[in-house]
Amino acid sequence: MMKPIEVGTVSRKTLSKQVVEHIVDLLNTRKLKPGDKLPSEMDLIGMLSVSRPVLREALSSLETLGVITRKTRGGTFFNDKISSQPFSVMLALAVDNLPAVIEARMTLELGLVTMAAEKITDEQLERLRKTIDDISENADNNYGKYDKEFHRIIAESANNPVVEGMIHSLLLVHERTDSQIKIREPELTIQYHTAIYKALVKHDPIDAFQQMYKHLCYVRDKVLGDYQP
């Protein structure tokens, strides 16, 4: 039988975000550990003094970020591997802070691309080249999945088991920032991706870093241009 768990109630300001913080705090304070089952929805509603829609919004955010898994008729669990993916927890706490999310993406990708320049294989380079071709051939400018695949290949080609847990979070950050872009400019995306690709072909980490930095600065400026915190 699960022993009682004490969690603080929340105010009526930014309720969903506060619920996320309180649930994550169960991990941070070791009241629960990765793999443990969370209290039921009804219990959490009572503990936190929030409505069912607010709780479910918070749980959906945590599930999207890979912090929890909800099983039909089985309950809600912290993911077993969340301890190896602490970046997911931090992302959950900062999900509504778009500038911080973008900076986190830049920090991760700039480090990964320099490692990729040293380790990327010919097969991975070929796949990378294909994503650029796919963007070029995409008639309706709905090329987000090819853009995401480009960055995923680079992250995986860094081939570092320590940062593997960050790749999932990196792709979530990519989706978060990509969803904020209102006007697509495939020609510019192709230019940036091609420059990064060429640097990786040369296995030049400095040039790869510089080209990725230019690309991510463009994304940052585009996303935050009309951003209102």
| Domain ranges (residues) in the chain | 15-86, 97-224
Query: Considering the entire predicted model, what is its pTM?
Result: 0.65
Q: Determine the residue type at 221.
A: D
* Residue spans of alpha helices (H) in 82-183: 86-93, 98-119, 122-137, 144-157, 164-178
Percent of the chain with pLDDT over 90: 34
Going by their DSSP bridges, the two strands 68-71 and 75-78 should be labelled as: antiparallel
For residue range 131-144, what is the model confidence (pLDDT) as tens digits? 999 999 885 667 88
User: What residues pair up with 70 in beta bridges, in sequence order?
Assistant: 76
Q: How far apart are CA 70 and CA 77, in angstroms?
A: 6
Does pLDDT of 118 surpass 90? yes
CATH code of 15-86, in short, is 1.10.10.10
Among the residue ranges 39-53, 105-119, 162-176, 203-217, the one predicted with the least confidence is 162-176
- From the CB of residue 120, how many other CB atoms can be counted at a distance below 10 Å? 24
Which one, of 69, 113, 144, lies nearest residue 211 by Cα? Answer: 113
Does pLDDT of 209 surpass 60? yes
Among the residue ranges 13-27, 79-93, 142-156, 182-196, the one predicted with the least confidence is 79-93
pLDDT of residue 115: 95
Among the residue ranges 10-24, 48-62, 181-195, the one predicted with the least confidence is 10-24
Q: How far apart are CA 106 and CA 162, in angstroms?
A: 18
Domain 97-224, classified CATH 1.20.120.530, yes or no: yes
- The rounded radius of gyration (Å) of the Cα atoms in the chain is 20
Q: How far apart are CA 193 and CA 212, in angstroms?
A: 8
Burial class (CB in 10 A: 0-12, 13-18, 19+), 148: middle
Work out the average pLDDT over 26-39: 84
Which residues fall within 8 angstroms of residue 185, CB to CB, at 6 or more apart? none
Does pLDDT of 2 surpass 60? no
Q: Do domains 15-86 and 97-224 have the same CATH topology?
A: no
pLDDT of residue 226: 53
Q: Are 98 and 223 in contact (CB under 8 A)?
A: yes
Please identify which residue in the block is written with the tokens 């936190």.
48
Percent of the chain with pLDDT over 70: 81
- From the CB of residue 11, how many other CB atoms can be counted at a distance below 10 Å? 8
pLDDT of residue 119: 96
Among the residue ranges 78-92, 148-162, 200-214, the one predicted with the least confidence is 78-92
196-225: buried (b, 16+ CB within 10 Å) or exposed (e) per residue? bbebbeeebbebbbbbbeebbeebbebbee
Does pLDDT of 197 surpass 90? yes
Q: How far apart are CA 165 and CA 80, in angstroms?
A: 12
